[in-house]
Structure 1
Amino acid sequence: MKPTRGSFVSVALTSLHAVTVLADGVGMIGFGKTLYHPTCAFACRNVIRNCRLSCTPTDSTANHGTAHNPVTTPPDCFVRDAAFLRTMAICIDTYCPISDSPPLDLIEDYWVSHLGTGTLGDYQYVPAMSYVDALAAARADEMRLPANSSAGGDNGSGHGGHSHGMRAAHLKSRQFMTEAGPQVSSALPTIKAGAPLNVTSFIAPKDWQKQYNGMLDFEVNENGHSTYSIVIMLVAIFLPVPLSLIRFLPGIAKSPQWSWFQSALIDPAVLGRRHREPAAPGMGIIPTRGQALYIALISILNLVFLLAPYVAHHPQSTFPSLAAQTLSVMGNRAGVMAMGNCVALFLFAARNNVLLWVTDWSCGTYLLLHRWLGYWAVFHTVLHSIMLLGYYNVYGSYQSELARLYWQWGIVGTVAVVAILPSSLLVVRQKIYEFFLASHVVLVLIFIIGYYYHIWYCYQYKWGYEIWAFIAAGIWATDRLARLVRMALGGYRTATVSLVHDTDGEYLRVDVNGVQLSDGVAYLCFPTLSWRFWETHPFSVAFSSLDLKTDSSSGSDTPPTSGPEHEGKETTVEKSNVTVLTSSANFTRPKTTTFFARVRTGVTRALGSRVAGSTQSQSTVIRVLVDGPYPHSGDVRRQLSHCSSTLYLAGGVGITALLPYLLRTTTTATTTTNRQAITSRLFWATRKAGLAAAVGPALAALPAGVEVETVVGQRLDLDGILEKALVHHDREEGGDDGLLGIVVCGPPGMADHVRHKVVQLSRSGLAKRAYVLVDEGFSW
């Protein structure tokens, strides 16, 4: 065939795109990737893709299409068969001007990339004729036929093609299926789907319109799947950012109106008085009203986007009825939306979640939101499986789908994600935390792997759905890598673990040598403690050796006072009813960070058993890796920076989380009597006198502006303390009308009591001061 201008254009486009562009773009459907662009051309090919061509193999069983849309004709046959090329050209020229009105360059790009392969473009299959040449040849074939040789009448065109005569009238109009379809005709013979195609033929309007309706609906709805899933992900991740920016509004923290707003819509539990304490034994945690508002918004978005909007035009080629279309399309949207939620929940569960630093929200809040996003991910996954199961049972062949690997991997992912629910119940997390953690990681990995292969065996990398798995897995892997890097940088350390004296073995003290941490939570890994060498467990930083007036690195409850480096005058300091021995000498103190923990189950029980079995005096030395510290209640120092005074309430070992803030308390005011003003008050209740003695050196090191009251074996009068601070504060004792910071760390019941009392006083109008409430509760 003699080369023409169109042939050179075809070759040029092929060469350019083959090295620079993927035919259907890169990314997700609707976001960089297209399915049917232009739809009118794809509809033409879909009518005749199963027609037998002169080069179609007669003895081959190879499938050159997809599992759901098999094609027996190989790609190189499509691009060299003259009848197919000419039929495609005249169909495109007939129907595209009255539907999509694509520009010529888009049609030519489609021509050189999709004729051979269909949905997924591939520039390696070069058509034997360019679009322009094929169209000219098709019109010439049409002109050689009598006008009445087909169902159509007079062509009304110098080229013999009726579509040219109709183009001006129909340009840019969009017609959907009617009983008769678009009003076009041709003298060419009309081809039926599946019939042999050996001459230039015309595709009937009704056949083309059905394909167009089905493909248009399918792509629009697929775009919706991507769009709404991305919206869910972005809102879930970034909504906390603008909400957290409220804290930077000038004077808002000190505003009584803001305190009332907090006490009404942010701080209280959404129902009743319980927030950190479970609603019932082993049941879940009730969110605060602020958390509930976030959860409600995400839940509403999940429901609305799942239910609507969709597009539907019938009759069409893809679905036989609206019911079938609803089952399939809604089921597929649920599957994609599951992954939109998954990406956000993976981020929220990460220790190195950048939002912890950006938003100043607590780790406990993000873990709570992580669980709720998880509920939606499970719901969507199960709904996806159920609706597609129903679709193939009614409108397809379930047995044939069950035999395919993509379906089997989908079952694997669904079973894994459903199994996460019972293994993550609060009672499991509290009673057998190690089992929960290990099973959680394993099941999540199985789910992600199942999802990936579910997509790959169905679409490979054609539709972009695998990107969700890559993002989620990337977040998970990045967080794990960051943990390993932090532990590696910290080095392999030794920890002196001892039972706190006079606590009946209930409390442990862990002194990690060579590490200087200021505050927050550090995750300690004891590789030699058990066969689960990979486990890390959270411990609140109590203090470091540089925080104290004496050396606390020995691991004993009182500092050593002998040796040449400790020579000096000894004095006794008393704060409240806790007496500790201090030394006025200056000496070199090695870097040491101290943690206290209550012996419960898991790693604390194992550490207690190791100490009890030690031949030394109730202490043992063990290797440790340190990951941290991490902020678990946001930037508490910044939250308290605007407060004129602070109130610290601690119960039991909860004192450890408060000590770092107390040790760095700055006093700037003095009274007219030249007495140091009390800017912070600490009230601490503990059941064990031994724990009070062990913490004594840290209490003795507190700044002069900190007032300490410790009670042993009894509870604090929380109502009286809070009423005095918020309602009956006394200026003569250092009180003022400024912002009051309230920091509580203790048993769940104690924290909930403080929360309820504070919001009650504020909402009733009895409180005379604005407040900032920090609940230093670590949860998982």
Structure 2
Amino acid sequence: MMTKTFGALLIFSAIQHAYSMTSQGRTGHGLIGYGIDMYKPPCAHACRDTISGSQLACSMVMSSHDHMFMKRMDMSGEVMTEPECYATDDVYLQTLAYCISTHCIGIPQWQLEKYWATYAVGRDEGQPIPKETYQQALAKISDAPTEVLVSGEPLNKTSLVDEEEYLANYNGDASFENAEIHHERYGIVLLVTGGAIPIATSLLRFVPFPSAWTSMFNAYFITPPTFGSKHNVPIFNIFHMPTRGQALFILYLIIINFVLSFVSLDTTTPNAWYATVHEQWSGYLGLRVGVLSFANLPLLILYAGRNNVLLWVTNWSHSTFLLLHRWVAWICTLQAVVHSIMYLKSYVESGDFATEVKLAYWIWGSVATLSFSLMIPCSAYPIRKAVYEVFLLWHNLLAVFVVVGCYYHIICRFQRQWGYETWIYVAIAVWGFERAMRLARLARNGVRTAKVTVIDDDYVRVDIEGVSDSGHAYLYFPTLTWRLWENHPFSVASTVLGSQALEGARKREETADVEKSGAVSVVKESGSSTRSAVAPAKVGLTFLLRLRDGLTAKIRNHASLPVLVESGYGSHESLASHPFLLCVAGGVGITACVPYLRAHPGRTRLLWGVRTPGIVEDMAVALANIDKEVYIGKRMNISEVLERELCPVEDAAVVVSGPNGMADEVRVAVAKLGRRGFKIKLVEEAFSW
């Protein structure tokens, strides 16, 4: 979907040329403090700031019509000084050189010469260099100057700078750059720890802690919902309660973002940039949260992707990262809103709001902030559940406006001087990698034909010949809808086709339900079976689909149809270290359990609840040699059956795949048993959004 909408970048890039820049300068590479210097050495920059506003012999007097350009060039009052004037005026060059020589004690000469060649004239791209070097200009001063340059007066002889004005400029330059370095540094901290902590905590699984300790720790601090008994089932149909393990990392994200928003906002006085300490601190805070919001963008996109590299190197689930995606979105949005409010307040108080609000950078920044703010309510669970495809379209469109708005907010304000756009490049790179991986997975399988078999009123089977993979896959049915990007995840039920044609007797014991309706049964099967004939097997993938409104409802009306298969997701965690494996499945959740049951070397058992018997018959071959108990039309008592199955064993792994309510019941029951000293590992297989 975003492959299409991100094409809007090309359209927006044409629009931005209609707007003038509010700041121009040389292109920087990296981030401030990490490849980009703003005012180093500050002593030399302060010297230039102190004298550059004075009228030189070659300066031009502006008419009132030209005052609108004053912020784009070195000007004071009605005087405009071109770069060529700075580069050739002897008095300016000698005054600057003398100031540097008396204030930059201990700075290496090469560094001063570098500053001189780069910044003595200004910051514009392609500007001329001074007609002489720093040492040459200094050598031309025969007598040390004695007169102090008065602010606003013409500079017509080599002069001393006003020390109070110099100090204010020095403090302004040095303090601002120091704050900017901390902004970028803390942004890097957010980005790095947002990826490193999941990796580090996942590596703990390789540390040989006693299994009893691990199980007890998980039962108290990782597995249960933070509060109550619901995790997959939303609270009030709005909010998903994180598990305690998830809550610990979410708490870290909240705390680190809050703390890094306020630390190292050091102020200095006197300061030429700000009139008061409060104004200075507020300005730094506005910049800090703006940079942190930018730094969170790559994490926001990374956590949302199904080709998230963290999924490959950690044991964290996709549903966990989607939950983190939503929390980071809240943080990122709040930071953008605070950034906007701080600058709105500043410009209103200074009287510049009416001018600034018309500038391109302000408009694009407003687009980004408003898009962020709209995404939060438009992504609420009731909306996602009711109109998921509409949500997806709207969500991705707003995401494009966020990224484009952030990018042009920077470009129209600073061009590419200070590297703020680097955060946007990283975010786009993360998104681009994720989408490229999707295309690669699709291209690997090409266009296939899906054969549809109706099992009963609730389920259909989809067989796709010629594709081999495991885990789960995202299926696209381009002929069923105009939304060609629409896809849905399904677990692979089988990697061999044709094995459903089982004939022969199965050793089965059926016990009728004692309820009066007689419509409910429990089927118990041993782990042995007799096969008389099996159809020739073919390589392919089999999926079981629960019929719902929308795409799956349309599938049952076709015997075959074209399909694109984006496969290779969700490798199954090895549970071989646990001697007993118990799988609890509900409906088509059985497809996620089968690979675990087949791969486990120890004793296995399946508890499976289904609405109708059709799916049980369809899965008969796949489950033929598996010890199982099937509940047809009957709701199993989760806590009771888990107590019964797990009490006799010393060490077990429990895999659950089914409806949200079932998964939550299993989670709570496993946590309770773990707190009683049972050694249990829980694995939840679920698709959520």
The answer to whether the superposition gives a TM-score over 0.5 is yes
Write out aligned runs for 1:103-114 (5 A). 103-114=108-119
**Percentage of pairs with the same residue:** 38
Match in the other structure for 1:422: 377
- Matched position secondary structure for 2:505: strand
Match in the other structure for 1:297: 252
Match in the other structure for 1:685: 609
**CA shift in 2, pair 1:67/1:233, >3 Å:** farther
CA distances 1:71-110 after superposition (whole Å, capped 9, x unpaired)? 832212211111110110011112222xxx3211101100
Match in the other structure for 1:643: 578
Equivalences, count: 645
Check conservation: 1:649, 1:743, Cα contact below 8 A: yes
Query: Does 2:222 match 1:263?
Result: no
Higher relative contact order (CA 8 A, sep 6+): 2
Match in the other structure for 2:490: 539
Check conservation: 1:64, 1:75, Cα contact below 8 A: no
Match in the other structure for 1:658: 593
CA distances 1:486-507 after superposition (whole Å, capped 9, x unpaired)? 1011110011223322xxx322
1:220 to 150, 153, 178: 178
Q: After TM superposition, give the deviation of residue 773 of structure 1 in Å.
A: 0.4
Match in the other structure for 2:431: 476
Q: How many Å separate the matches in 2 of 1:462 and 1:491?
A: 45
Structure 1: runs of 5 or more not aligned? 1-21, 144-159, 161-185, 553-557, 562-569, 612-618, 668-678, 730-735
Match in the other structure for 1:197: 155
Query: Does 2:285 match 1:365?
Result: no
- Matched position secondary structure for 1:316: coil
**CA shift in 2, pair 1:655/1:600, >3 Å:** same
2:664 to 730, 742, 752: 752
- Matched position secondary structure for 2:506: strand
Q: How many Å separate the matches in 1 of 2:424 and 2:530?
A: 57
**CA shift in 2, pair 1:543/1:397, >3 Å:** same
Match in the other structure for 1:94: 102
1:276 to 232, 235, 253: 232
Match in the other structure for 1:573: 506
Match in the other structure for 2:3: none
Write out aligned runs for 1:311-330 (5 A). 311-330=266-285
**CA shift in 2, pair 1:451/1:489, >3 Å:** same
- Matched position secondary structure for 1:682: strand
Check conservation: 2:26, 2:416, Cα contact below 8 A: no
Q: How many Å separate the matches in 1 of 2:48 and 2:614?
A: 83
Q: After TM superposition, give the deviation of residue 32 of structure 1 in Å.
A: 1.3
- Matched position secondary structure for 1:267: coil
Q: How many Å separate the matches in 1 of 2:448 and 2:200?
A: 41
1:598 to 546, 558, 564: 546
Write out aligned runs for 1:326-725 (5 A). 326-501=281-456, 505-518=457-470, 520-545=471-496, 551-552=498-499, 559=501, 570-575=503-508, 577=510, 584-585=532-533, 588-608=536-556, 611=557, 619-631=558-570, 635-638=571-574, 640-667=575-602, 679-700=603-624, 702=625, 706-725=626-645
Q: How many Å separate the matches in 2 of 1:697 and 1:646?
A: 20
Q: After TM superposition, give the deviation of residue 328 of structure 1 in Å.
A: 1.4
- Matched position secondary structure for 1:498: strand
Check conservation: 2:27, 2:416, Cα contact below 8 A: no
Write out aligned runs for 1:144-159 (5 A). none
Check conservation: 2:464, 2:540, Cα contact below 8 A: yes
Check conservation: 2:468, 2:495, Cα contact below 8 A: yes
Check conservation: 2:581, 2:600, Cα contact below 8 A: no
Check conservation: 1:113, 1:123, Cα contact below 8 A: no
Letter in 1 for 2:621: P
**CA shift in 2, pair 1:69/1:684, >3 Å:** farther
Q: After TM superposition, give the deviation of residue 663 of structure 1 in Å.
A: 2.9
Q: How many Å separate the matches in 2 of 1:404 and 1:68?
A: 17
Check conservation: 2:576, 2:601, Cα contact below 8 A: no
Flag the structure with larger Rg.
Answer: 1
Check conservation: 1:29, 1:463, Cα contact below 8 A: yes
Letter in 2 for 1:287: P
Q: How many Å separate the matches in 1 of 2:138 and 2:47?
A: 14
Match in the other structure for 1:779: 688
Q: How many Å separate the matches in 2 of 1:437 and 1:209?
A: 55
Match in the other structure for 1:117: 122
1:129 to 107, 132, 136: 132
Q: How many Å separate the matches in 2 of 1:374 and 1:574?
A: 54
Q: How many Å separate the matches in 2 of 1:630 and 1:523?
A: 9
CA distances 1:339-364 after superposition (whole Å, capped 9, x unpaired)? 11111121111111111121111111
1:48 to 46, 51, 60: 51
Letter in 2 for 1:222: E
Structure 2: runs of 5 or more not aligned? 1-24, 511-522
CA distances 1:258-277 after superposition (whole Å, capped 9, x unpaired)? 11111000111100111111
Check conservation: 1:327, 1:390, Cα contact below 8 A: no
TM norm structure 2: 0.89
Q: How many Å separate the matches in 2 of 1:302 and 1:132?
A: 47
